[in-house]
Amino acid sequence: MSKLNTEKSKKAFAEAQSFIPGGVNSPVRAFGAVGGTPIFIKSGSGCHLTDVDGNTYVDYVGSWGPLILGHAEPRIVKRIHEAVANGTSYGAPTELEIKLAQLMKEAMPSLEKVRMVNSGTEATMSAIRLARGFTKRDAVIKFEGCYHGHVDSLLIQAGSGATTLGTPTSPGIPQDFVKHTISLPYNNIDAVNEVCSKRGKDIACIIVEAVAGNMGVVLPKKGYLEGLREITKRHGIVLILDEVMTGFRVAHGGVQSLYNITPDLTTLGKIIGGGLPVGAYGGKKEIMDTISPVGPVYQAGTLSGNPVAMTAGIATLEILRDGNIYKTLEEKSKRLAAGMEKACKDAGIPAYHTRLGSMLCTFFTDQPVTDYATAKRCDTKRYAKFFHGMLERGFYFAPSQFEAVFVSMAHGEKEIDATVNAFREVIKGF
């Protein structure tokens, strides 16, 4: 297999670095975890990305989740064009915002009221402020390996044991900003029980990626989510399900529909923006009505509810109403996951495979991955080899072991089978 010609990407990356820190506007794009230089993209169409050198790849990143219908889906592109012609922002309410909120509530009945923002980070940050304002409590529980955007108080490394305070994972975050955050291992309900039985009255909310997708894909153990719901109810703690990644991805109604959990608040983003920058948080009426202008908890946004972004979201969610889509995605994703799993077995490569709907992950490890500690045991050097081997063959996976593979409606059997064949070739070289 010949090496790719990526001269123009290399040149662009060198130039980008003199204007943009690290040459990228979000760190994982820099290929730091896998080495090499990032591919600069020129265009996307269906399941394909084309780079500035003219190489085309089958894309399994899907802009990190939003593109469940593929790149430049014609129906969505058309609606966006129409919307742009009517002006791109008004800073005043529109009927589009009602429409998108209705479509979201139809899929997730727990969203009694919804507030639109511009990113997932903004959604989780605002939901936490709201939970604190509503409960008049300060402490927050989050779980190791769960990512909720770059919110100050959530960028925390767990201390050793439940009694030690966590420390910020980034400079620029005062220790004081994380002193109310308790970081616990994912999938361990006893740890939550222990903290809540001691400090339940101090805890405003528990925020959790109901199915974790930011340490690779890690599924909740049986009873874990139900346990969180029960404990939070018992202690008057707001349960925030972060479905920024999983909402409209793993099922039309997200993880909460699959596991039959009714959270107090849900955070959303990615798919609900149809590829444009959108986030949202919503849930119980009495909690949501604590936000201004109804209640005292302040939250605002110049471009929130942007008409073009709302239109892209509406167009996407209208298409996703068709239940057959999730059946089809399930078949496609199963075909890919089963193919990769069998390839590993045949080649004697130890790997742990996880999947929920069109979100999946191959961990290069010989042990089950159930939390951050077990995820970290993966052979990330092997992942880097996998990544570059696939890239050279025209398949674009996430440049990090700790991310999900996303399958879209635009991926055909032909591309999926070609992916599995390339994967077989790549792991032969391990």
Ligand X SMILES: *Cc1c(COP(=O)(O)O)cnc(C)c1O
CB of 269 to ligand X, least distance (A): 5
- The rounded distance, in Å, linking the Cα atoms of 391 and 59 is 10
SS3 string, the chain, reads CCCCCCHHHHHHHHHHHHHCHHHCCCHHHHCCCCCCCCCCEEEEEECEEEECCCCEEEECCHHHCCCCCCECCHHHHHHHHHHHHCCCCCCCCCHHHHHHHHHHHHHCCCCCEEEEECCHHHHHHHHHHHHHHHHCCCEEEEECCCCCCCCHHHCEECCCCCCCCCEECCCCCCHHHHCCEEEECCCCHHHHHHHHHHHHHHEEEEEECCCECCCCCECCCCCHHHHHHHHHHHHCCEEEEECCCCECCCECCHHHHHCCCCCCEEEECHHHHCCCCCEEEEECHHHHCCECCCCCECCCCCCCCCHHHHHHHHHHHHHHCCCHHHHHHHHHHHHHHHHHHHHHHHHCCCCEEEEECCEEEEECCCCCCCCHHHHCCCCHHHHHHHHHHHHHCCEECCCCCCCCEECCCCCCHHHHHHHHHHHHHHHHCC
Tell me how many residues contact ligand X (CB under 6 A). 15
Select 121 or 374, whichever has its Cβ closest to ligand X.
Answer: 121
User: For the window 73-112, what string marks contact with ligand X as x by the rule CB under 6 A?
Assistant: ----------------------------------------
Residue type, 377: R
Q: Among 69-77, 143-151, 360-368, 390-398, which window interacts with ligand X (CB under 6 A)?
A: 143-151
Per CB under 6 A, contacts with ligand X among 225-244 are 242, 244
CB of 119 to ligand X, least distance (A): 4
Q: Among 71-79, 115-123, 161-169, 349-357, which window interacts with ligand X (CB under 6 A)?
A: 115-123
Per CB under 6 A, contacts with ligand X among 270-289 are 279
Select 124 or 181, whichever has its Cβ closest to ligand X.
Answer: 124
Select 101 or 210, whichever has its Cβ closest to ligand X.
Answer: 210
Select 46 or 213, whichever has its Cβ closest to ligand X.
Answer: 213
Does 242 participate in catalysis according to the annotation? yes
Laid out side by side, the sheet with 405-406 consists of 352-356, 359-363, 405-406
Given the residues 142, 270, 332, 385, select the one marked as catalytic.
Answer: 270
Per CB under 6 A, contacts with ligand X among 164-223 are 209, 213-214
Select 76 or 207, whichever has its Cβ closest to ligand X.
Answer: 207
CB of 347 to ligand X, least distance (A): 31
Candidates 9, 55, 121, 135; binder of ligand X (CB under 6 A) is 121
Candidates 147, 364, 395, 406; binder of ligand X (CB under 6 A) is 147
Binding of ligand X at residue 120 (CB under 6 A)? yes
Select 245 or 361, whichever has its Cβ closest to ligand X.
Answer: 245
Whose CB is nearest to ligand X? Answer: 120
CB 178 within 8 A of CB 168: yes
Does 8 participate in catalysis according to the annotation? no
Q: Among 80-88, 103-111, 114-122, 285-293, which window interacts with ligand X (CB under 6 A)?
A: 114-122
- The rounded distance, in Å, linking the Cα atoms of 134 and 155 is 23
**What angle separates helix 189-199 from helix 224-235, to the nearest 10 degrees?**
0
Does 142 participate in catalysis according to the annotation? no
Binding of ligand X at residue 400 (CB under 6 A)? no
Select 146 or 344, whichever has its Cβ closest to ligand X.
Answer: 146
Binding of ligand X at residue 403 (CB under 6 A)? no
CB of 121 to ligand X, least distance (A): 3
Per CB under 6 A, contacts with ligand X among 241-260 are 242, 244-245
Q: Among 69-77, 80-88, 144-152, 385-393, which window interacts with ligand X (CB under 6 A)?
A: 144-152
Select 151 or 369, whichever has its Cβ closest to ligand X.
Answer: 151
CB 205 within 8 A of CB 238: yes
Catalytic residues, which ones?
147, 242, 270
Site residues for ligand X per CB under 6 A = 119-121, 124, 147-149, 209, 213-214, 242, 244-245, 269, 279
